Structure 1
Amino acid sequence: MLAAALGLGVTGIAVKLYLAYGVTDYAVNLTSYHDITDNQVVLQFTVTKPEGSPAVCVVRARNRAGAEVGRAEVVVPEPPKRVDVSYTLSTTGLPVSGETVGCRAQR
């Protein structure tokens, strides 16, 4: 009986996590980062989302030690379904990389 209840609990948690973080209609692909200075990096990325739905994408920059030196939420407008974005991310130190963390529906 305890094993069955534990199994149901684990299954419930797995379903909840899948619904929160599993497959979504929002995808982001970093194509490049460039123009790196002591206080910025330019990120180029492509967002695929449901047509007619704006998105919010999280981008960040890291320094040589791996610490985060910049983070922002970038709003991607409604149409079209696939959008190429260029975003200048301000940083608090010299970045060595730029990353896209993910996208979600704008609330």
Structure 2
Amino acid sequence: MTIHNAPVFPAGRYGRRRQPDGRRHRAVLVVGAVVAVGAATAIGVRGYQLIGDPDFQPQTIAYEPLSDSAFSVRFQVNLPDGAAAVCSVRARDRAGAVVGRVEAPVPAGAPVQEVVLATSGRGFVGEAVRCRRG
């Protein structure tokens, strides 16, 4: 009794059998690694953009709806010595939808700012979301 490891097919009937190619396998691994590193970098950059610089953390002090189309937000940001910032400030309605947004400059030496936003509806909550070096 003879034991065969691979099936035997008639020659030329099913085309040529391919041998595993180590170079192709390595190329797939390299491309996968490059894609993974690129994705990790993109996620890191986007996360930093969303969170902002820890030296420029804003704190909302007060907010007040002025009308159905205007909203006031007063906020403070910790500024390193001599640094200016730009802060993203928004107003949201009762349902949580953003009805107004503005990028507010914060000059060096003036950490407390009041901003009036134009809104597309009646605002309910105002907040300074994030700040970055300006």
Q: What is the correspondence of 1:88-103 to structure 2 with a 5 Å cutoff?
A: 88-103=116-131
Q: What is the correspondence of 1:14-53 to structure 2 with a 5 Å cutoff?
A: 24=53, 25-53=55-83
Larger radius of gyration: 2
Gap regions ≥5 residues in structure 1 = 3-7
* Code of the aligned partner of 1:90: A
Gap regions ≥5 residues in structure 2 = 1-28, 30-36
Shift in CA distance, 64/30, structure 1 to aligned 2, threshold 3 Å? same
TM-score, normalisation: structure 2: 0.61
* C-alpha displacement of 1:13: 7.3
Rounded to whole Å, the distance in 2 between the matches of 1:70 and 1:26 is 22
Rounded to whole Å, the distance in 1 between the matches of 2:90 and 2:52 is 22
The aligned residue for residue 16 of structure 2 is: none
* Code of the aligned partner of 2:118: S
Rounded to whole Å, the distance in 1 between the matches of 2:91 and 2:99 is 6
| Aligned-pair Cα RMSD in Å | 2.6
Following TM superposition, where does structure 1 have runs of at least 4 consecutive aligned residues deviating by more than 4 angstroms? Answer: 8-23
Structure having the larger proportion of residues in strand: 1
TM-score, normalisation: structure 1: 0.74
The aligned residue for residue 5 of structure 1 is: none
* Cα-to-partner distance string for 1:13-44 (whole Å, 9 max, x where unaligned): 78666765667311100011014310111111
* C-alpha displacement of 1:65: 1.9
Aligned length: 104
Identity of aligned residues (%): 35
* Code of the aligned partner of 1:60: R
